[in-house]
Amino acid sequence: MSDFVFMRYEMKYLCSEEQGLALMRGVDSHMQKDPHGESTIQSLYFDTDADDLILASLDKPKYKEKLRARCYGLNDGEKDVFLEMKRKMNGIVYKRRVRCKEKDIGSISKDDFSQIGRELKYFYSFYDSLYPKMLILYDRTAFADRDSDLRVTFDRNVRYRTEDLNFHTSLEGESLLPDGCFLVEIKTGVAVPLWLCRLLAENAVNKTSFSKYGRAFIKERDRKTGEQNHVSITL
């Protein structure tokens, strides 16, 4: 199994369809599609019975962490997936992940003795009884810079489900954002280039705070309690 470590800043922007397409055209002229290019991403989030991880994250602390598994496209059983620990401290995102098969997700912390494997084992022991709670799906167009670690991603058709929590059943889910809405993410370990800052300003796109899992969790919680969904989307 291969280990991966990332450390970077991640900035998010909610855009209308017109803004998102304009940004994509501008980014396309400066960057190239990354190895995954166009893909449907499935992210399976793990939590406790008491939802400790997502509730802590929604409080917007200086430090927060999540555990998820990720798959690109529908899994046929042979496709690689990634088990990831994602931590954020003072605005910097630290991501540590291992590559495995879907059937091995539950046992990887027991069988992998690498540094990240040991961290996963501790994570599981610290948060007792972690299990899949939410599947987030979205269609992504991803760009990578040729000369730096800059990545820009465009997510559309963001959706989720709380049943059939696996990567092989389907790519269906309940919509999480208005039709045509883009969630754009800029990911970099260095400063955002001037051309990209200008592109955001020219299209009146402002930075926002948005968690796909957090919004889906609130939507489901409000549905169960009969409350109105109080998380608004302003573009």
pLDDT tier, 111 (very low <50, low <70, confident <90, very high otherwise): low
For 75-92, letters b (16+ CB in 10 Å) and e give: beeeeebbbbbbebeeee
What the chain holds in terms of domains, given with CATH numbers, is 3-225 (3.20.100.30)
78-106 pLDDT, tens digit per residue, is: 899 999 998 888 888 888 888 889 998 87
Q: What pLDDT is recorded for position 4?
A: 57
Tell which wins on pLDDT, 56 or 124: 56
pLDDT tier, 32 (very low <50, low <70, confident <90, very high otherwise): very high
Q: What pLDDT is recorded for position 117?
A: 76
Q: What is the rounded distance in angstroms from the CA atom of residue 130 to the CA atom of residue 33?
A: 35
Q: What pLDDT is recorded for position 113?
A: 56
Tell which wins on pLDDT, 225 or 133: 133
Q: Which of 71, 75, 74, 65 is nearest to 130 (CA)?
A: 65
Q: What pLDDT is recorded for position 108?
A: 63
Q: Which pTM was predicted?
A: 0.89
Q: What pLDDT is recorded for position 119?
A: 83
Q: What pLDDT is recorded for position 110?
A: 55
142-161 pLDDT, tens digit per residue, is: 999 988 999 999 999 999 99
Q: What pLDDT is recorded for position 151?
A: 95
Q: What pLDDT is recorded for position 95?
A: 86
DSSP annotation of 131: E
Average pLDDT over residues 178-185: 96
Q: What pLDDT is recorded for position 6?
A: 66
Residue type, 148: S
Q: Which range, of 51-55, 119-123, 177-181, 184-188, averages the lowest pLDDT? A: 119-123
Neighbours of 143 (CB within 10 A): 18
Tell which wins on pLDDT, 18 or 108: 18
- Give all strands (DSSP E) within the chain, no chain letters: 3-15, 32-47, 63-72, 80-89, 92-101, 131-144, 151-161, 174-175, 182-188, 207-208
What are the CA-CA distances from residue 220 to residues 60, 177, 191, 231 (Å)? 19, 14, 37, 12
Q: What is the rounded distance in angstroms from the CA atom of residue 69 to the CA atom of residue 217?
A: 17
Quote the distance between the C-alpha of residue 36 and its chain's center: 15
The encoded tokens of residue 102 equal 């879907």
- pLDDT of 2 strictly over 90: no
Q: What is the rounded distance in angstroms from the CA atom of residue 90 to the CA atom of residue 26?
A: 30
The encoded tokens of residue 10 equal 């991640």
Residue type, 118: R
